[in-house]
């Protein structure tokens, strides 16, 4: 039983090179996700500005219709 546990524990240990590779992979993934968040935030800001402009145009058009001739 002890040999089985020791063998299990030794196989679970990660080599330093593998840790470095996994760490760099995770850092790259975090960079990709940060870029995605930034792109989506910029898209959201642009869509919100366009929506606000459309609402303002609609409000301006309805106000002009309400003006007496």
End-to-end CA distance of the chain: 96
CA distance 12 to 3: 14
pTM greater than 0.85 (yes/no): no
CA distance 24 to 52: 42
Structure-token pair, residue 34: 């940060």
Q: Is 22 helix (H, G, I), strand (E, B) or coil?
A: helix
Residues in the chain: 69
**In the chain, domain spans:** 2-61
The pLDDT tens digits of the residues spanning 30-59 come to 999 999 999 999 999 999 999 999 998 887
Q: How confident is the model at residue 62 (pLDDT cuts 50, 70, 90)?
A: confident
* Residue percentage of the chain with pLDDT more than 70: 71
pLDDT of amino acid 14: 64
């Amino acid at each position: 039983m002890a040999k089985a546990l020791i063998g299990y524990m030794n196989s679970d240990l990660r080599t330093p090179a593998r840790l470095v590779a996994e760490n760099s992979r995770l850092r790259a993934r975090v960079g990709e996700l940060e870029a995605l968040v930034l792109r989506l935030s910029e898209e959201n800001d642009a869509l919100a500005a366009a929506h606000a402009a459309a609402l303002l145009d609609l409000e301006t058009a309805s106000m002009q219709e309400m003006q007496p001739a």
